[in-house]
């Protein structure tokens, strides 16, 4: 969509600068539903961890507790970075969202889903499966949105060189 950017004061006419909205609607919808689902995941995983905690060896107790805490704490930061990066079209925040998703949350979630030595309960498998579906779809949507945003920013940077009067110079009036 095109949004009017400013009103030119000298002539009294509208000056429209085209700004295409680059925010990804599918990513935003997934982030919203993930934010709504996360308290239920946290509650379900907390209950399942409490049920099987005493039945696990000491090192698995520590591993599962650490995984639960890391997933819980990084999810808030990850969702925040996703919202800010997508809605405000900020590349560093969206890249941070992708890094947290891909490097921290995805390996931990796959560990919880695939390790044979932890006691996997049916509810736990269901909540982790849905969380994994959200995570993978958000990574794909965020990658596509980030690719569009970086292409647009590169084009704006390239065009700004010509509108500002050349390389390294600003549009300052010469007296």
Q: What are phi and psi of 13, to 5 degrees?
A: -100, 155
Q: Is the pLDDT of residue 97 over 50?
A: yes
Q: pLDDT tier at 167 (50, 70, 90 boundaries)?
A: low
Give the confidence band of 6 by pLDDT, cuts at 50, 70, 90.
very low
Q: Identify the residue with better confidence: 153 or 95.
A: 95
CA distances from 30 to 13, 82, 142 (A): 41, 10, 10
Copy the structure tokens of residue 107.
């390996």
């Amino acid at each position: 969509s095109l949004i009017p950017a400013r009103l030119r004061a000298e002539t009294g006419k509208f000056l429209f600068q085209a700004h295409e909205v680059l925010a990804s609607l599918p990513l935003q919808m997934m982030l919203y539903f993930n934010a709504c689902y996360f308290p239920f995941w946290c509650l379900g995983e907390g209950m399942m961890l409490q049920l099987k905690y005493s039945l696990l060896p000491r090192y698995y107790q520590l591993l599962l507790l650490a995984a639960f805490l890391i997933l819980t704490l990084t999810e808030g930061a990850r969702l925040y970075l996703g919202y800010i990066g997508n809605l405000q079209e900020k590349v560093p925040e969206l890249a941070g969202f992708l890094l947290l998703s891909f490097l921290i949350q995805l390996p931990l979630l796959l560990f919880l889903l695939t390790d044979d030595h932890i006691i996997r309960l049916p509810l736990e498998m269901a909540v982790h499966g849905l969380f994994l579906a959200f995570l993978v779809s958000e990574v794909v949507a965020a990658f596509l949105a980030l690719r569009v945003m970086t292409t647009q920013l590169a084009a704006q940077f390239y065009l700004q060189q010509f509108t500002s009067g050349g390389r390294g110079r600003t549009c300052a009036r010469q007296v």
